[in-house]
Amino acid sequence: MVAEPGVLDIYSVVSPTTAYEKLIFTRMNSAESLNDWANKWNQTDNLVYDGTNNLFTLPADVWDGATTTWSIYNAADHPIPPANPISAGQETYVTVTTTFMGAADHLAGYYFNGTENAWVNGVLVTPRVYKVTAPTPTVPTDKWDKVIFVAMPTAVNGWEPTVINKTADLLWDGTSDHYDIATSAWGTYVPRTHVVPTATTEGIDRSKVRLWLNRGGHYDSGAHQYVLKVGATYYAASGYTKALVFGTDGIYFPFFDLPSATLNGASVDVVVLDDVGYLVTTIATVPYVTGDNNKLWQVDLVGEALVVNKGGLVGRIYAGFFAKVLEGYLTCDANNENGYMAFGDIDGNFLPRVAEGESVVWNMEGSLGGILIADYVNEADYLTGTREAVAATDAYAKYERMRTLFLGNGGTLGTATERVNQTINPTNNMFVLLSAMFGFALIGIFVYKKKKA
């Protein structure tokens, strides 16, 4: 007889072709290779096979003369005990997903072995993390073979009438105290860090700058939020703006309006939290130098690691986005951090161009002219942050005014041969010309407004 693979203590034999009335099972001397009566240690009684029941089970501690018991063989009834059975009281932390839980009432654990099973409720310790404690078997020294984690639709545990979701029959690996539903993997439980970000008020003044972040498609769903950590403080985004033309709704960029004194010379951690404020990952630690707000911060995948690069925007932008960029600058202040002397970086990093015939035009959806932003009425308001109560500043006029001041004070721009305001119909030269003339006409009005302080 040979040991049956994959089951516990089962041996099988194929009967000979000659028909016999009875059979005897024997236990043979392990030191001898020849099967004969002289080498047998024990034997059953003379047994009769009924043609259906094909499993004979020896009674415990009975080696000679056994006549019972016959039954039908089923491999599932004879599992090999797990290498790492689960003890009563063993704690497992289970991280679930919203998809797995659905509208579940709670997470439950179903523990079982060859003789019994038991249900136990998980205890929610943090959002999406349950602690499940193995129950005590009827015989306290017994252990559980496997566990199934189940999303229960009601407060009552059971398989009927249905469950929302369940894992496979899980074998414990012998060391881990954490099971991740998303990855179907055992591991070590690390308590999650909960973060309450500091709110940032939208709006810049002489002491604040606006920093833009392109998430690059990484952790950009509603299940995640980006924050910036400076020192021990986590700062929430001040807002989000539809920036890049993509798909039906575009790609949104978060922006952060923060004191320049907080940022200058600091190390800034770009951090991802989940939607309830638990730390997911720190993407990168980025040194901040004065003027870094005039570059787009971009999350990129390099090899298998996420990094943050600072530089120019690539792609087609919405006019409303560039208006929002301009809103983050002081038209008539000469500083090169968030004043008109930063215009060269603004123009080069946030306003992409594209060749169109012999011209180079803004790669922009819509027209900047006609978009109104809430700007400052007086230069003195740069210190107080007081803006127009109703948005009344044309974004294109602001752009041209900053450009004029920048160039008039020694600034130089890139090498694009033409810088044409992208309009709804860029081939209509008369429309472009009228838009530009309208913009310059507005400049006179806004020069007066800026200088009357």
Residues 445, 338, single domain; the answer is: yes
> Per-residue b/e over 183-212, b at no fewer than 16 CB within 10 Å?
eeebeebeebeebebeebeebbbbebbbbb
Tokens 């907080």: give the residue: 262
Residues 372, 289, single domain; the answer is: no
CA quadruple 420, 424, 429, 433: dihedral sign: negative
Residues 307, 321, single domain; the answer is: no
Cβ-based neighbours of 115, under 8 Å, separated by 6 or more: 142
> Cis ω on the peptide bond leading into residue 69 (within 30° of 0)?
yes
Is 205 inside a domain boundary? Answer: no
SS3 of the chain: helix, strand, coil, percent, to 5:
15, 30, 50
> Are 212 and 297 spatial neighbours (Cβ–Cβ below 8 Å)?
yes
For residue 272, give the nearest of 284, 260, 280, 261 by alpha carbon: 280
Residues 96, 222, single domain; the answer is: no
Residues 179, 120, single domain; the answer is: yes
> H helices of 145-190, where?
none
Angle at the Cα of 403 from the Cα atoms of 401 and 408, rounded to 5 degrees: 95
Burial classification of residue 297, based on how many CB atoms lie within 10 Å of its CB (0-12 exposed, 13-18 middle, 19 or more buried): buried
Q: Which two tokens stand for residue 55?
A: 């499993």
Residues 337, 442, single domain; the answer is: yes
Residues 270, 390, single domain; the answer is: no
Is 195 inside a domain boundary? Answer: no
For residue 22, give the nearest of 38, 44, 40, 55 by alpha carbon: 44
Where the chain has pLDDT below 70, the residues are 415-453
Q: Which two tokens stand for residue 162?
A: 């249905």
> Are 111 and 150 spatial neighbours (Cβ–Cβ below 8 Å)?
no
Is 203 inside a domain boundary? Answer: no
Residues 64, 98, single domain; the answer is: no
Domain boundary among 24, 57, 80: 80
Give me the pLDDT at residue 156, please. 95
Residues 180, 219, single domain; the answer is: no
Give me the pLDDT at residue 348, please. 95
Is 379 inside a domain boundary? Answer: yes
Is 12 inside a domain boundary? Answer: yes
Give me the pLDDT at residue 416, please. 43
Q: How many domains does the chain have?
A: 4
Give me the pLDDT at residue 3, please. 86
Residues 159, 246, single domain; the answer is: no
Tokens 């690069």: give the residue: 309
Domain boundary among 286, 311, 336: 311
> Cis ω on the peptide bond leading into residue 59 (within 30° of 0)?
no
Give me the pLDDT at residue 133, please. 98
Residues 101, 168, single domain; the answer is: yes
Give me the pLDDT at residue 182, please. 92
Domain boundary among 311, 336, 361: 311
Give me the pLDDT at residue 433, please. 34
Give me the pLDDT at residue 114, please. 85
The DSSP 8-state label assigned to residue 88 in this structure reads T
Is 128 inside a domain boundary? Answer: yes
Beta strand 208-214 with 296-302: parallel, antiparallel or unpaired? parallel
Is 292 inside a domain boundary? Answer: yes
Is 29 inside a domain boundary? Answer: yes
58 phi/psi in degrees, rounded to 5:
-75, 135
Q: What is the pLDDT of residues 356-390, one digit of tens each?
A: 998 999 999 999 999 999 999 889 989 888 999 99
> Are 346 and 401 spatial neighbours (Cβ–Cβ below 8 Å)?
no
Residues 429, 345, single domain; the answer is: yes
Structural domain harbouring 385: 317-451
